[in-house]
Structure 1
Amino acid sequence: MKIAVAGTGYVGLVTGVCLAENGHSVTCVDIDDDKVALMKAGISPIYEPGLEEIMIKNMKRLNFTTDYKRAYKDADVIFIGVGTPEKKDGSANLRFVYGVAEQIAKSIENDCVVVVKSTVPIGTNDKIEDMIRENLAHDVNVYVASNPEFLAQGTAVRDTLYASRIVIGVEEEIAGNVLKEVYRNFDAPIVVTNRKSAEMIKYASNDFLALKISFINEIGNLCEIIGANIEDVALGMGYDGRIGNRFLNAGIGYGGSCFPKDTKALHWLANFHDYELKTVKAAIDVNENQKLKLIKKSRKYFDSFKGLNVAVLGLTFKPGTDDLREAPTLVNIPIMLEDGANVRAWDPVGIENFKKIHPIGIDYCYSIEETLKDADICFIFTEWDEVKELDLSKYRELMRNPVVLDGRNCYDLVSAKKANITYDSIGREAINSLEASLV
């Protein structure tokens, strides 16, 4: 099929590349000339494992352009994969989605199916269909379908090529049949429903996972108080097939482009209809508080960050991506700097993006050892393999005071005790190698 994809972020670019991998002719549209030039050269503008390799492999079936009129006019299917960022009130900003819908209406010259891949509030597909049909420049039939994505940064290619499920929301059978043909070579169960149900499946799925993370973080916080071990608790819970073991890793909260935005958007939508999703609201509140968990722990060891050398390991919200959206470091590092800390930070892929936010005031390092040198305290915010595989003796060897606060539970407690470091993690016993407080 001849397919056009609007947007070349995580959703749009991964979708386009994976559709090309499965035999379709795909044109990806973006407004940024420099970005398009990069992609034409086989260079991915985003860091995503495996994406660039598949791009290069399928360049004969992939085209990248800023000319949306040419891309849309005779496409069989047009995917909308642009961003829906959060507004200040927590609702979804649909400006980019509606902008693309208007472009499509004025450009298409053949019958086509418009597929909304972006995460949008329930009922948005209906509005997009009305907008397109009211603004059509040519006498054509257009059908709008909801086809939410379920990819995660760091595993986006795998999540798309080997999807857990493909959800198709349609109001007409013809649109459903076209999308079934689009996904004919994808080995995944297909759920066909109406558009509003498809939109809700996306929000309900993400918000449930966010709830699960916030729940285990709260249980972890209580484990610290009563002397239980959250890892043992999660292990015992995970054997129950009704619960499962995924998303039961206690830490300092979820981040990224999906969970924070989608929980707030669904909470806002419910409020708009005079209904409160109490569980979702609780997940949001718990997550915001959890991000500051390590800062609060640090007060046990130091009254203030003033004059301290602070090592930060990991800047991105999770490993496998250079995405900083809603990363705990965005909240924590400014507190350290404001309190007078000398901050050194390391991340294998996220430094350049973090520099755009904090170009000065932070000493960016390109090795863990350089980051730890003469540090008084170390914060682990991202569980990169390089961090998990580090010899724990390095903390005592390199740091002035081997105080390690781990927001991702990278090490087992036995190893921390043997390394003779002060090691304070989430939901587990604190290992204090110091005979007295450093205060």
Structure 2
Amino acid sequence: MGLVTGACFAASGHQVVCIDMDAAKIALLHQGKLPIYEPGLDRMIVRSVEEGRLDFSTEYAAGIGDAEVVFVTVGTPMAGQDGRTDLTYVLNAVADVAACMGDHAVIVIKSTVPVGTGDEIARKIRLLRSELDCAVVSNPEFLREGAAIADFMQPDRIVIGAEEAAARDVVVKLYRTMVGQDVPIVCTGRRTAELIKYAANAYLVAKISFINEMADLCESIEADVEDVALGIGLDHRIGSAFLKPGPGYGGSCFPKDTQALLVTAEAHGRHLRIVEAAATVNNARRHDMVRKIADACGGTVDGKMLAVLGLTFKPGTDDLRESPAVAIVHLLVAEGARIRAFDPAAMPRLGDLAGEVTLAETAYGCVQDADALVILTDWPEFAGLDLLRIRKSLRQPVVVDLRNVFAPKQVAEAGLFYTSIGRMPVRGSEARWSAAAE
């Protein structure tokens, strides 16, 4: 979020300094290399650096002292299993910023923080430097990994939460230099802006869990969930986004933000039953997917070599945080499966997972002599794989597609037995396991 924010404002003509305490990341950026995978971001950064609008530093004084607006974009992970948010990074960053900033600056919190955090930050700054004329503004982000630049430059809306009109106007003016008058800017109080972020993610989480439950029902009554999603998504009151069935939601935002919202509600004596149900459905989803894989493999994965395509929580990113694919791999290994995996972007970031799985250099290399193919992330290139070649490479002609990458008829014509999500397979192509082939 921070790198995209800085790069996009610089590309819009502003003078930007991006500050991070990780010297290795800053060194990479000075070399024109990115510490993350985000399509198009490298070219945008190189151009802005060459044109003198963007710089990187590990020193707060390098960019804070003369800044008119300071964006705080540090992480807010969960503090523990109870869903509370760890604000350590945010509060430490604010303290460091306050020590360096000049008078009349505006601090904008883009990090996702619980409702009331902006008030706490404002109090903290007053205690640290009572002489500062400093305003704290909430400006939540709504960026999708893999499409972050487009989301920042052409947003659906911009939310600005401020208690002081002057600070609000500064941030509105900043964004209007980048977006046209057709982009709505929603100006609210600070607490409302903080809640808007959580409410948006909770609603999307509910849509994902809803369509996954519909997919399960479709399998029981011989209906097609993709037609169901189309039929309801064309209703403008519902919309088609986030109605794609799969192994559940993940990533750096949805899981932790859902839990943080539930913690906030509980602290105020409220129970968000719809959000609670959506989280419960998602938590059970990965176990359901492991059972689906085991059923396709003759009832057990113990001792089976499974070729897994896709490890990131979604295509277009190298992010493995809270990835349902990674969680499913862990569960499969615990059940005795042997895993060979390939992902187009995540291989350098596997960390501990690399010790549990064998890594393949290509999708076809991953499939070679495996007992079954399991697709866990819907990277576009997987849809173009040669199914006849896959059929010849597999020891057992079994494909478990947890992202509905392939059309059932397409897989059946290649002689593969096929399991997907919420769709009935072409007759005769149901996933079957041959004990004779083991």
TM-score of the pair, normalised by structure 1: 0.94
The residue number in structure 2 matching 1:274 is 269
Aligned counterpart, 1:5: none
| Deviation, structure 1 residue 71 | 1.9
Letter in 2 for 1:192: C
1:53-72 maps to which residues of 2 (within 5 A)?
53-59=43-49, 60-72=52-64
Give the structure 1 partner of residue 320 of structure 2. 324
The correspondence of residues 374-385 of structure 1 with structure 2, limited to 5 A, is 374-385=369-380
Paired position in structure 1 for 2:112? 119
For 1:219 and 1:82, the matched residues in 2 are separated by 37
Cα distance in 2, alignment partners of residues 360 and 33 from structure 1: 27
Pick closer, same or farther for the CA change 1:71–1:434 going to 2, 3 Å: closer
Aligned length: 427
**Larger deviation: 325-334 or 126-135?**
325-334
Question: CA-to-partner distance for each residue in 1:197-239, whole Å, 9 max, x for gaps?
Answer: 1111111111101110110011111110111100011111111
Deviates more, 1:428-437 or 1:161-170: 428-437
| Residue from 384, 395, 399 that aligns with 1:404 | 399
Larger mean CA deviation between 325-334 and 345-354 belongs to 325-334
Shift of 1:394: 2.5
Q: Corresponding residue for 1:37?
A: 27
Distance 2:370 2:221 in 1: 31
Aligned to 2:156: 164
- Contact conserved, 2:398 with 2:417, CA < 8 A, in 1? yes
AA matched with 1:134: L
- Kindly indicate whether residue 164 of structure 2 is the aligned counterpart of residue 141 of structure 1: no
Q: Is the 8 A contact 2:312 2:326 kept in 1?
A: no
Structure 1, gaps ≥5 residues long: 1-10
Q: CA deviation at 1:435?
A: 9.4
Instruction: Please state how far the C-alpha of 1:246 moved relative to its aligned partner.
Output: 0.9
2:376–2:401 CA contact under 8 A, matched in 1: yes
Is 1:78 the counterpart of 2:70? The answer is yes
SS at match of 2:64: helix
CA RMSD of aligned residues (A): 1.5
* Greater mean deviation of Cα atoms: 256-265 or 286-295: 286-295
1:177 aligns with 2:169: yes
Mapped to 2, the partners of 1:117 and 1:156 lie a distance apart of 14
Q: What is the Cα deviation at residue 346 of structure 1?
A: 0.5
What SS is found at the alignment partner of 1:72? coil
1:437 deviation in Å?
Answer: 4.7
- Do the aligned partners of residues 346 and 134 (structure 1) sit closer, same or farther apart at CA in structure 2, a change above 3 Å counting? same
Q: Deviations over 1:340-362 (max 9, x none)?
A: 322110001111111x1223242
Provide the C-alpha distance between the structure 2 equivalents of 1:109 and 1:209, rounded to a whole number of angstroms. 40
Query: 301-310 or 274-283: which moved more?
Result: 301-310
- Structure 1 pair 196/368, CA: closer, same or farther in 2 (3 Å)? same
- Cα deviation for residue 434 of structure 1 reads 7.0
Contact 1:104 1:132 in 2 (8 A): no
> Conserved in 1, the CA contact under 8 Å of 2:339 and 2:358?
yes
Preserved CA contact (<8 Å) 1:314 1:347 = yes
Q: Distance in 2 between matches of 1:403 and 1:437?
A: 7
Contact 1:69/1:103 (8 A) holds in 2: no
Gaps of 5+ in 2: none
Q: What pairs with 1:284-299 in structure 2 (closer than 5 Å)?
A: 284-299=279-294
Residue 123 of structure 2 corresponds to residue 130 of structure 1: yes
Tell me how far apart the structure 1 counterparts of residues 166 and 35 of structure 2 sit (CA, whole Å).
Answer: 35
Percent of aligned pairs sharing the same letter: 44
Determine the C-alpha separation between the residues in 2 that align with 1:111 and 1:363: 55
After superposition, give the CA deviation of every residue in 1:162-216 in whole Å (9 maximum; x if it has no partner).
Answer: 1111111011110011001211222322111111111111111111011101100
